[in-house]
Amino acid sequence: MYLENIKNPSDIKSFSNDQLKALADEMRGLLIKKVSTHGGHFGPNLGMVETTIALHYVFDSPKDKMVYDVSHQTYCHKMLTGRAYGFLDENRYDDITGYSSPDESEHDFFTVGHTSTSISLASGLVKARELKKESGNVIAIIGDGSLGGGEALEGLNIATELDSNFIIVVNDNDMSIAENHGGLYGNLKLLRDTDGKAECNLFKAVGLDYVFVKNGNDINELIKAFKLVKDSKKPVVVHICTQKGMGYKPAQDDRETFHWTMPFDVETGKVLVNFDGENYETLTSDFLLEKMKNDDKIVAITAGTPAVMGFTLEKRKKAGKQFVDVGIAEETAVAMASGIAKGGAKPVFGVYSTFMQRTYDQISQDLCVNKNPATIVVFCASVYGMSDVTHVGFYDIPMISNIPGLVYLAPTSKEEYFAMLDWGMEQNKYPVAIRVPGNGVISSDRPVKNDYSDIDKYQIVEKGSRIAIIAVGSFFELGKQCACEIENKLGVKATLINPIYLTGLDCDLLNNLKENHDIVITLEDGVIDGGFGEKIARYYGKDSVKVLNYGLKKQFYDRYNIDDVLKENHLTTEQITNDIKNIL
Amino acid sequence: MYLENIKNPSDIKSFSNDQLKALADEMRGLLIKKVSTHGGHFGPNLGMVETTIALHYVFDSPKDKMVYDVSHQTYCHKMLTGRAYGFLDENRYDDITGYSSPDESEHDFFTVGHTSTSISLASGLVKARELKKESGNVIAIIGDGSLGGGEALEGLNIATELDSNFIIVVNDNDMSIAENHGGLYGNLKLLRDTDGKAECNLFKAVGLDYVFVKNGNDINELIKAFKLVKDSKKPVVVHICTQKGMGYKPAQDDRETFHWTMPFDVETGKVLVNFDGENYETLTSDFLLEKMKNDDKIVAITAGTPAVMGFTLEKRKKAGKQFVDVGIAEETAVAMASGIAKGGAKPVFGVYSTFMQRTYDQISQDLCVNKNPATIVVFCASVYGMSDVTHVGFYDIPMISNIPGLVYLAPTSKEEYFAMLDWGMEQNKYPVAIRVPGNGVISSDRPVKNDYSDIDKYQIVEKGSRIAIIAVGSFFELGKQCACEIENKLGVKATLINPIYLTGLDCDLLNNLKENHDIVITLEDGVIDGGFGEKIARYYGKDSVKVLNYGLKKQFYDRYNIDDVLKENHLTTEQITNDIKNIL
């Protein structure tokens, strides 16, 4: 056991070749043990064991600064930089995050969870070093899958201009999360096939020096290459070829499934957690495939995350040309969707809320200014969604609901979601986004509309008086519970409203409420600032109706406990009922 | 005169070679006449006369679909597609926009004013054509300057995968708005120097077929190339070399100045409009250059628009390594700024509000999650700013003020602006954005703070009672006028508040106002939805204080008259005073 004694990456500099190899075996064993019991990013880390060792053997972190793209491959780096406890000790698995984190270690420079950012971020470290006339290497480590994103390509283009030490390690495992898409992957293949000798070389074409490493899982070969570029005075790409999932056969054989995995049985490779029941991912792809049978014009789009709408390999094959993966390139996904809609076909772009952030301008300019009827389906925009600080998805309402022209719909049930999705695809007037409920698949026999073109018309679900509850999307159930609690505790039957639309006010309905309501409360599963409820508060600003907005405080949240967050934000039925009691 | 009789682009298909050349001369003459008297994009259009003629000679618009990037080069296309009146008749100059516009013509497919979008948008038209089993060519026309933007590079990468007719015309005039920056321009030069024969070819590296046109201002050469690729079954790049400003010597000699120009004297090339007095662009670069003299760590950053902070060629030279132009790559600009701040230097990124939209995720993830103290200076975020629908900049408050961790400051005077800029650069705790006033440079002897680290502390400028006016940034002057008018007309001395911070509430101050105020009004120079005022309305939601939010209605605005827009949005002192009178 070496890792227990490695407190600092410099500790491995005295290791013999055999010791480095033994260390690699030990690290790989820990990866398999932790991820199989805890879940996490698996294939990318297995592939990067040797590279990480070689980097720390050759370079002097933290004086030499390593910036890992997207952080899917940082576990080994964490093991060697004082955080081995997060792998050695089962009780401390959660003491470290799954991502780069400067809060954890001086060897991490940025908190990163979105892809394609490493080169541009690292270029800033290079520039600062030059301005301050300091020394040291700056190393960006980026996977081939991340290269197709706009920010990465911008970074590659501008790196040359820095004209000083800047090492870009391209970890080419011939995979993104799923298979790669895009012309540049043909060039990576050509370079692999020619041992890096092909004249036509993307990296040289953008002015970068270039070094090829055929066996990126061979520590010696890597050490040789890194020594060669260490202290280089010019930007240089080190193109290393690695095996995703290296050392665990099921992960090598099924690289997509094992990119990130829930806990699994090491013997069989089978995931241990059983998901019973329905989920919106699978339901969405089933729905779309069914529609595709009768309509050649329907096309599902993903930006490198086909799982977001449940498009497994098998389903992608079934969809054929009616499924497009643009790679991790959300900007192009939205622009392409706009173009497809303009061309008279029916695009549906499925995206995690947190990654939708990467395409604000395309939603505004390419899509909404152009009024093209594309549909965006937004997943994990909910307090019940992903909870790592870089993946939290509930900032979406302020972000897109204030873009003119967009119709942002918040379904409250399975039936309503699919009615909206169908309408979004079949209408031809509006760019539409749909906020998939985050609180599980809830069926309801409440009647749902087929046509949502009466924009901004809210739905009164229960008629009451004095108190009106406007409960948005995933928080509609909370609204129902509040109505119950209020009736039980305060003896008032409240009006319950499903607003349906996040992008505008139903002024008639709000005006009518004034007649026999004193209090209007809004409940939204997102940050309050710039969100839905504030629009209601503005509407009643000069009236005597009191407005209470419930939602999440504007701040970054990280790996939170849902119940704690709900309580801190006064989002339990008891707290809300108490608030109302106090002002009634 | 040919143009008067060209109603449809097909009309030129019967033209002889001499006629085409005469047409080109006529078009060039009209460009010079219109732009010299009216202003507009000049150099890019002069360079594209022959290309546009050749495109319409060879292809059959609108069945063959042309998508022009950013629209800086669409004037000639407009002349040939039924809109020559916008150039022939001085009285109709403003009947057409300066940008692609489907509202004007079936030959335009998208409203475009942001750069780097054409390939991705056109890829959607390609995909729709395939799904619908239609025929016809799709042609994206993009300048070399636009190629460095992430969306364009993503589009280039994914174009190959479409594996069907898709023609990408790269108009290489060896210039962006200013000079190009980035490694890919070295490859374009290599291709120009080798007549397109160099083995190392960026376009081939991403899997695209490639055709080179040495003289992109020679109609015959262009026609030959376009005929060659017409009906191509694969994506292909046609790399044409043109002369920016072709046919007007001052524009050829000073390509940066004549990219876009105000009216000028045709004889001398001198701009006719005299700008007396100060402007924030020049003041900002002067301020930064002065600071740079004593501090090597300061660095100004632009994304392809050095003029935004007044960095002329001369000033760029003066700044040397302390000025960085990343090309039209806003994402990388923000990420690099974050990296520079992390590295201990002092980055200031100047950007037009409308283009800041292109970097939402980098502001959120690369910058704010990481709490790095970079400064972003936001220009033209104002109703007084640019008014083309694609360039309107007053959607910024909802967009960035709701991102956690950011401190967004709204100066109300020149003195306050520079105090904030200085503080932003010298502090090391917060990502800071500063909203440059849009209502001209106004000096004030009101005391300003040197230190803005008492986050969210508003400033009471005038103490009054009953009515409080919270007036943001550019609208502070309007707030002052309202206070006067209210005192004169209603006999009430209002409290006047400069909130300084757009990103949070001063709860103590707001709470104290309740004691002797009945009405709080907010004035902001931006869309109301998701903006500053709604936060105030939320705060007072359960109190008896009435809140009136003033700002701009959420919608797209295009080439508007400022007074009309202000009136429509109830933003005159008379209207506001009347509103208050009605509820007092």
**B506-561: per-residue pLDDT in tens?**
999 999 999 999 999 999 999 999 999 999 999 999 999 999 999 999 999 999 99
* Nearest CA-CA partner of B287 in B386, B404, B419, B397: B419
Q: Is the residue at B314 inside a domain?
A: yes
Between B202, B335, B531, which is nearest A205 by CB?
B202
**How close does chain A come to B578, measured CA to CA in Å?**
14
**CA distances for A429 relative to A423, A426, A432, angstroms:** 11, 10, 9
Residue B153 and residue B254 in one domain:
yes
Angle between helices A150-162 and B150-162 (to 10 degrees): 120
Q: What is the pLDDT of residue B59?
A: 98
**A428-444: per-residue pLDDT in tens?**
999 999 999 999 999 99
**A342-376: per-residue pLDDT in tens?**
999 999 999 999 999 999 999 999 999 999 999 99
Q: Which of B210, B244, B260 is the last residue of a domain?
A: B260
Q: What sign for the dihedral angle of Cα A278, A279, A284, A289?
A: negative
**How close does chain B come to A476, measured CA to CA in Å?**
21
Q: What is the pLDDT of residue B219?
A: 98
- CA-to-CA distance for A102 and A369, rounded, in angstroms? 39
Contact list in A for residue B403 (CB cut-off 8 A) is 395
Q: Is the residue at A275 inside a domain?
A: no
Whether A183 and B199 lie within 8 Å, measured CB to CB = no
| Residues shown for chain B | 584
Residue B209 and residue B145 in one domain:
yes
Contact list in B for residue A396 (CB cut-off 8 A) is none
Whether A336 and B540 lie within 8 Å, measured CB to CB = no
Residue A502 and residue A408 in one domain:
no
* Nearest CA-CA partner of A127 in A167, A154, A101, A159: A159
Contact list in B for residue A120 (CB cut-off 8 A) is 331-332, 335-336, 339, 362, 366
Residue B466 phi/psi, 5° resolution?
65, -50
Between A121, A132, A538, which is nearest B549 by CB?
A538
Residue A82 and residue A206 in one domain:
yes
Q: What is the pLDDT of residue B350?
A: 98
Q: Is the residue at B228 inside a domain?
A: yes
Please work out, in degrees rounded to the nearest 5, the angle formed at the alpha carbon of residue A258 by the alpha carbons of A252 and A260.
145
**CA distances for B1 relative to A48, B19, B20, B29, B88, angstroms:** 68, 10, 12, 11, 10
Q: Is the pLDDT of residue A384 over 80?
A: yes
Whether A336 and B123 lie within 8 Å, measured CB to CB = yes
- CA-to-CA distance for A471 and B265, rounded, in angstroms? 62
Q: Is the pLDDT of residue A275 over 80?
A: no
Q: Is the residue at A352 inside a domain?
A: yes
Q: Is the residue at A266 inside a domain?
A: no
Residue A531 and residue A482 in one domain:
yes
Q: What is the pLDDT of residue B276?
A: 79
Between A149, A405, A554, which is nearest B402 by CB?
A554
Q: Is the residue at B269 inside a domain?
A: no
Q: What is the pLDDT of residue A1?
A: 84
- CA-to-CA distance for B150 and B466, rounded, in angstroms? 52
Number of domains chain A contains: 3
Residue A507 and residue A547 in one domain:
yes
**B459-488 b/e (C-beta count within 10 Å ≥ 16 → b):** bebbebebbbbbbbbbbbbbbbbbbebbbe
Q: Is the peptide bond before B62 cis (omega within 30 degrees of 0)?
A: yes
What is the domain extent for residue A475? 459-583
Q: What is the pLDDT of residue B274?
A: 79
Whether B297 and A131 lie within 8 Å, measured CB to CB = yes
Q: Is the pLDDT of residue A274 over 90?
A: no
**A450-463: per-residue pLDDT in tens?**
999 999 999 999 99
Beta bridge partners of A40: A261
Residue B470 and residue B417 in one domain:
no
Residue A241 and residue A289 in one domain:
no
**Locus of tokens 């970068």:** A208
Q: What sign for the dihedral angle of Cα A254, A260, A266, A269?
A: negative
Between A131, A155, A537, which is nearest B296 by CB?
A131
Cβ atoms of A472 and A502 closer than 8 Å:
yes
Q: What is the pLDDT of residue A177?
A: 87
Residue B421 and residue B552 in one domain:
no
Q: Can you give the three-state secondary structure of A340-374, one letter per residue?
A: HHHCCCEEEEEEEHHHHHHHHHHHHHHHHCCCCCC
- CA-to-CA distance for B475 and B487, rounded, in angstroms? 18
Between B151, B528, B546, which is nearest A332 by CB?
B151
* Nearest CA-CA partner of B205 in B223, B222, B221, B191: B191
Contact list in B for residue A559 (CB cut-off 8 A) is none
Task: Name the pLDDT band for B177 (thresholds 50, 70, 90).
Answer: confident
Q: Is the residue at A453 inside a domain?
A: no
Q: Is the residue at B452 inside a domain?
A: no
- CATH assignment at residue A107: 3.40.50.970
Q: What is the pLDDT of residue A273?
A: 83
Q: What is the pLDDT of residue B2?
A: 95
Between B297, B534, B542, which is nearest A583 by CB?
B542
The average pLDDT across B404-418 equals 98
Instruction: Flag whether the pTM goes above 0.90.
Output: yes
Contact list in A for residue B182 (CB cut-off 8 A) is 157-158, 160-161, 206
Residue A226 and residue A322 in one domain:
no
- CA-to-CA distance for A503 and A521, rounded, in angstroms? 18
Residue A292 and residue A245 in one domain:
no
Please tell me which residue of chain A has the smallest CA distance to B368.
A556
Residue A160 and residue A296 in one domain:
no
Q: Is the pLDDT of residue A232 over 90?
A: yes
Cβ atoms of A478 and A573 closer than 8 Å:
yes
Q: What is the pLDDT of residue A584?
A: 86
Contact list in B for residue A161 (CB cut-off 8 A) is 181-183
**CA distances for B53 relative to B23, B74, B268, B382, angstroms:** 8, 12, 29, 38
Q: What is the pLDDT of residue B256?
A: 92
Whether B186 and A207 lie within 8 Å, measured CB to CB = yes
Contact list in B for residue A554 (CB cut-off 8 A) is 402, 404
**B430-448: per-residue pLDDT in tens?**
999 999 999 999 999 999 9
Mean confidence (pLDDT) of chain A = 97
Percent of chain B whose predicted confidence (pLDDT) is above 90: 98
Cβ atoms of A440 and A488 closer than 8 Å:
no
Q: Is the pLDDT of residue B176 over 90?
A: no
What is the arrangement of strands in the sheet containing B65-68, beginning at the earlier edge strand? Answer: B65-68, B138-143, B166-172, B235-241, B209-213
| DSSP state letter for B521 | E
Residue A301 phi/psi, 5° resolution?
-125, 140
| Residues shown for chain A | 584
Whether B361 and A549 lie within 8 Å, measured CB to CB = no
ipTM greater than cut 0.90: yes
* Nearest CA-CA partner of A283 in A409, A411, A391: A411
Q: What is the pLDDT of residue A276?
A: 79
